[in-house]
Amino acid sequence: MAWYLIELQYVPREVARVRPAHRRYMAELVAQGLVAFAGRYTDESAGLFLYRADDERELQPLMDNDYCELALCSAGVHFGGADMMIYDVFGGRP
């Protein structure tokens, strides 16, 4: 298993609407051991998430099922795009 550090830029008008469902989903992933950390920046401009997955193919559905990710994607943010950075924590590749 690899660890992936995800920084997700928020779209302010969407975040408040999806935050409750997003938090429930993150709690489920934490309980399953698939997320070690999830939290927003104090200025609420972005969030930082530490996911555990075998590879990016396994990571993708975890992110696709996140309500926050779905709202942000509908606003034009896409996995691997300029508004989301993915780092393999131990491999060091951006």
Does pTM top 0.75 for this prediction? no
pLDDT tens digit sequence for 73-90 = 433 334 444 344 555 555
Number of domains in the chain: 1
Is 94 within the bounds of a domain? Answer: no
- At 11, which CATH number? 3.30.70.1060
Q: Under a CB-based contact definition with an 8 Å cutoff, are residues 78 and 16 in contact?
A: no
Helix (H, G, I), strand (E, B) or coil at 82: coil
In this predicted structure, the answer to whether residue 91 has a pLDDT above a threshold of 90 is no
HSE-CB at 27 with a 13 A cutoff on CA atoms is 6
pLDDT tens digit sequence for 14-39 = 777 888 888 899 999 999 999 998 88
Give the domain extent around 34.
2-88
DSSP string, 36-69: EEEEE-TTSSEEEEEEEESSHHHHHHHHHT-HHH
